[in-house]
Amino acid sequence: MNKIGLIFNGVWSHYTFATAPKYEHIIKLIYIHDFNKESLEGLDAIMIPFQSHQPALAKRKKLIYDFLNQGKKVFVEGDSSMDWIDGTWEDRPVDNYWWVNSPNNPPISETDFSHPVYAGLTPRQSCWHTHGSYTSMPSDARAIQRKPNGEIITWETNQYGGTLLATTLDPIVEHGVQQITYLDNYVDKLITWLNGEVPQGSFEVPRNKYGINVQHDSL
């Protein structure tokens, strides 16, 4: 139960993703400004979504790398900062036009489909759009996905003890946004890889997730 922590900074799509009935028993929301060592107790993995609070993550860098050093898994999506990750992320325009212009050719040139997250996915399921590129990655990392110009979309490394998987895809945010309807394929593979649990059912966000009156302490 709730073996994956999602580091959350009050962004709506993180909230709808983690609290949806499909995932609420698997994912534990951890508000970034309350994130401490105790938050990680009992967890197998953490997710750090696109649109995260980069300076706050940098302040808690040691927590993340200590967690990795215990052999755990960390998944990072979207943007990141060199203040806490040994790779260079750069912004790029988002390509949302390939669905119309060339629907069988997502903006990606190579994917290592032997990676457990990508095994069995179609090219469309493995890349919908990216938010930027990695122009460098940690010294022992290997690229899993690249763009046609050679820039890195996804990389993985074990050099910190556990497994750090970083991508400029945004499966958590975009699934929470609910406009791309086939992301269960990627997300279910990701969750299964992170802690072994296979999510069941369809992804839906109940209407009562909007307009909530938040008592901060109840998060």
Partner 1 sequence: MIEAAVISNGLQGVHAYFISNHRVRYHFLEVDEHFNPDLAPYELLVVPNGCDHIAMAKIKDSVKHFLDAGKSLFCMDGWFTDWVPGNQWVMDNSKKSIDVRYTLCTDRHNLFNDINIDSFIFSHGISGWWSCGYIIPAPHADVILKDTWNRAIIVLDETTTNGVMFLTASAPLGDTAGQATDDRNSMKDLVKLYQQLLDLIIGKSLQKR
Q: Which is nearer to partner 1, 12 or 119 (CB)?
A: 12
Residues 6+ apart with CB under 8 A from 162: 67, 68, 69, 70, 71, 72, 73, 74
Between CA 73 and CA 158 the distance in angstroms is 9
Query: Binding to partner 1 by residue 205, rule CB under 8 A?
Result: yes
> 3-class DSSP state for residue 189?
helix
Q: Which two tokens stand for residue 153?
A: 């979309």
Q: Is 78 left (phi over 0), alpha (psi -120 to 50) or beta?
A: left
Query: Binding to partner 1 by residue 184, rule CB under 8 A?
Result: no
Interface with partner 1: number of residues (CB under 8 A): 45
Candidates 40-48, 91-99, 120-128, 182-190; binding stretch for partner 1 (CB under 8 A): 91-99
Exactly one of 5, 6, 7, 16 binds partner 1 (CB under 8 A); that residue is: 16
Tell the burial category of 187 from Cβ atoms under 10 Å away from its Cβ (0-12, 13-18, 19+).
buried
Candidates 30-38, 108-116, 121-129, 162-170; binding stretch for partner 1 (CB under 8 A): 30-38
Query: Binding to partner 1 by residue 24, rule CB under 8 A?
Result: no
* Residue ranges that bind partner 1, judged by CB under 8 A: 8-13, 15-16, 31, 33-34, 51-57, 79-81, 89, 91-94, 96-97, 99-100, 132, 177-179, 181, 205, 207, 209-214, 216, 219
